């Protein structure tokens, strides 16, 4: 195969959800129709790379000129509750459920010794600071239900112990070993409505 196509295929295969064969098909389609497919994709990638950032306060995706983001500055949101998620994409999933109206905090991952992600690599210190500074009364843990998500939840419970903050966790509907991003809005709505104390 030609080196540029091979490099394009390798780059695409690093994206979540695209295996080697899907990446190969996508690469060939892009090369076959550069005006219709490749040029708009390159422009969109450049635009997102230049203009989209993570909010300095909560970690959600935002435009570079809107920092803090709309979630952090919207006065109609419940400022007393904060939903902690692993990634900014999880915020999008929870928002689509329409069940949570507080603020967010994306950790940037979850505790994982195998991937060398310890507490210092996540936005845990910032979470503690926000809870103290913003008068948070409830922290809802919207974390994956796998072993690493459970370990992260346990760490947060210990981090906030003695702060007087109620720590809850999403309940019914989330399958074990699954992430927020793979859940449908109804499942997330039920999980938020039936959250449990930690």
Are 144 and 107 contacting, i.e. CB atoms less than 8 angstroms apart? no
Identify the structural domains of the chain with CATH numbers, from first to last.
Answer: 75-197 (3.40.1360.10)
Q: In the predicted model, is pLDDT for residue 174 greater than 70? A: no
Mean pLDDT lowest among 11-20, 34-43, 136-145, 173-182: 173-182
pLDDT, one tens digit per residue, over 26-74 is: 999 999 999 999 999 999 999 999 999 999 999 999 999 999 999 999 9
Q: Is 108 exposed, middle or buried (0-12, 13-18, 19+ CB in 10 A)?
A: middle
Q: How confident is the model at residue 173 (pLDDT cuts 50, 70, 90)?
A: low
Report pLDDT for 108.
96
Is the N-terminal amide bond of 68 cis, ω within 30° of 0?
Answer: yes
pTM score, whole prediction: 0.82
């Amino acid at each position: 195969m030609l080196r540029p196509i091979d490099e394009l295929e390798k780059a695409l295969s690093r994206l979540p959800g695209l295996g080697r064969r899907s990446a190969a098909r996508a690469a060939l389609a892009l090369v076959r129709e550069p005006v219709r497919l490749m040029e708009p994709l390159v422009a969109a990638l450049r635009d997102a790379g230049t203009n989209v950032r993570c909010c300095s306060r909560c970690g959600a995706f935002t435009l570079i000129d809107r920092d803090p983001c709309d979630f952090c500055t919207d006065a109609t949101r419940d400022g007393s509750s904060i939903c902690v998620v692993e990634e900014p994409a999880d915020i999008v999933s929870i928002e689509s459920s329409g069940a949570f109206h507080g603020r967010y905090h994306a950790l940037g991952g979850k505790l994982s010794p195998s991937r060398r992600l310890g507490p210092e690599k996540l936005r845990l210190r910032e979470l503690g600071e926000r809870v103290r500074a913003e008068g948070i009364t409830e922290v809802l843990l919207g974390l994956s239900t796998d072993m690493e998500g459970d370990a992260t939840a346990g760490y947060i419970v210990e981090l906030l112990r003695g702060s007087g903050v109620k720590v809850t966790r999403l309940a019914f509907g989330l399958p074990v070993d699954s992430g927020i991003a793979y859940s449908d809005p109804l499942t997330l709505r039920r999980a938020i409505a039936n959250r449990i104390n930690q």
